[in-house]
Amino acid sequence: MASPTPHFTRAALEKRVAGFRGRRVLVIGDVILDRYLWGRATRVSPEAPVLVVDVDKEELRLGGAANVAQNVRALGATPVLFGVVGQDAAAQSLRRELQAREVDPDSGVLVDPGRRTTLKTRIIAHNQQVLRADEESREPLSNTVLEDLWRRVERALPEAAGVLISDYGKGVVNASLLSRLLPVLKSRGIPSAVDPKEEHFQSYRGVTVITPNLAEASQAWGRRIRNDEDLIEAGHDLRRKLDAGAVLITRGEEGMSLFTPEEHTHFPTRARRVFDVTGAGDTVVATIATALSAGVPLPEACVLANHAAGLVVAELGTAVATAAKLIESLEDLPVG
């Protein structure tokens, strides 16, 4: 059954955002360091038919689960980040970036000397990305590192108001970890939100909400989602197969669609302009998880996530929606 897009008052949603403060959200997943080289392309290299970019500025930003954690922090909650880095310069830089954004890198970010810290370098010329270079390890975690990671997560669970799994397919999120974690969350009544990777889809059984984009949902469903009829069928099928509380399919400029056992609801995009979708999925799942940790019903959490995503796509590169900006974005809603 289709449900009309819910309408909530500004006062009610502002109260929900205020309730985020201090909520403890465990963020488990693949931490990434994003490196941006900004410059100008004025000539072609004499060595090969490629542009030469004169670099004016270098900037480091958090990506993957690290970006999710800083989004949770920006919303006023307290993220506890769990992931794995290498013993390299990128790990040191990532640690500094986390500390600068008030995200603790010590509780759950493990160092594995046998791995490389995931580093994505993007070269930007005249506000256009011209090249991306990735340095990373994708191998599964060793048993020793996996056991250490699980022990740390287990110790943190008693104080967790919510758990967020950020899967970028770099090896931290795996079937072994999920088979331990998800039943514990369900038995303790701790809400869980997953930003998925296609190859692990069947391992996310029992989550509170999973947030694939349209391409990920199509691959998990086994057929390309071509129209609204396909979307509705896919959303309900995926929810049933995963025995999930809900599936939220993010659809870029088309907004997002929520599927629960009773109904499906469409949320039109709140973006007034789209400059860069990098990190928008991180913002959506961070807002959903933070809202659930504060006891916000899922439809209201989706409205807030939709507003938050509209804020970050208006900026180039990974960005965050602060609690203040999120509240400001609600100004066009009925007062109450």
User: What's the mean pLDDT when you consider all of the chain?
Assistant: 91
Residue scoring higher pLDDT (275 or 193): 193
pLDDT at 320: 79
What are the backbone angles phi and psi of residue 203, rounded to the nearest 5°?
A: -90, -5
> Residue 315, class by beta-carbon neighbours within 10 Å (0-12 exposed, 13-18 middle, 19+ buried)?
middle
Give the three-state DSSP class for 297.
Answer: coil
What digits encode the pLDDT tens for the residues 155-214? 999 999 999 999 999 999 999 999 999 999 999 999 999 999 888 888 999 999 999 999
- The terminus-to-terminus CA distance of the chain in angstroms comes to 28
Distance of CA 9 to the CA centre of its chain: 26
Return d(Cα 213, Cα 285) in angstroms, integer: 11
- Check pLDDT > 90 for residue 311: no
Return d(Cα 277, Cα 125) in angstroms, integer: 18
Known catalytic residue: 88? no
Q: Pull the structure tokens for residue 209.
A: 């909400």
Give the three-state DSSP class for 99.
Answer: helix
pLDDT at 274: 47
Return d(Cα 156, Cα 196) in angstroms, integer: 22
Label residue 266 left, alpha or beta by phi (over 0 means left) and psi (-120 to 50 means alpha). beta
Judge contact between 255 and 269, C-beta under 8 A. Answer: yes
- Check pLDDT > 90 for residue 229: yes
Return d(Cα 63, Cα 295) in angstroms, integer: 27
What digits encode the pLDDT tens for the residues 67-109? 999 999 999 999 999 999 999 999 999 999 999 999 999 989 9
Upper half-sphere CA count for residue 152 (Cβ side, 13 Å): 20
What digits encode the pLDDT tens for the residues 44-70? 999 999 999 999 999 999 999 999 999
Beta bridge partners of 195: 166
Residue scoring higher pLDDT (285 or 8): 285
Domains defined for the chain, CATH in brackets: 2-32+63-117+137-332 (3.40.1190.20)
The DSSP output letter for 294 is T
Judge contact between 227 and 251, C-beta under 8 A. Answer: no
Return d(Cα 29, Cα 13) in angstroms, integer: 29
Q: Pull the structure tokens for residue 263.
A: 């109904």
Return d(Cα 327, Cα 323) in angstroms, integer: 6
Judge contact between 38 and 56, C-beta under 8 A. Answer: yes
Neighbour order of strands in the sheet with 209-210: 2-3, 264-267, 256-259, 246-250, 209-210, 192-195, 162-166, 24-29, 78-85, 108-111
pLDDT at 275: 46
Select which of 88, 237, 282, 332 is catalytic: 282
Neighbour order of strands in the sheet with 51-63: 51-63, 31-44, 118-125, 128-135
What digits encode the pLDDT tens for the residues 253-265? 888 999 999 899 9
Sign of CA dihedral 97, 101, 106, 110: negative
Judge contact between 326 and 305, C-beta under 8 A. Answer: no
Return d(Cα 180, Cα 163) in angstroms, integer: 13
pLDDT at 186: 94
Sign of CA dihedral 83, 88, 89, 90: negative
How many Cβ atoms sit within 10 Å of the Cβ of residue 270? 19
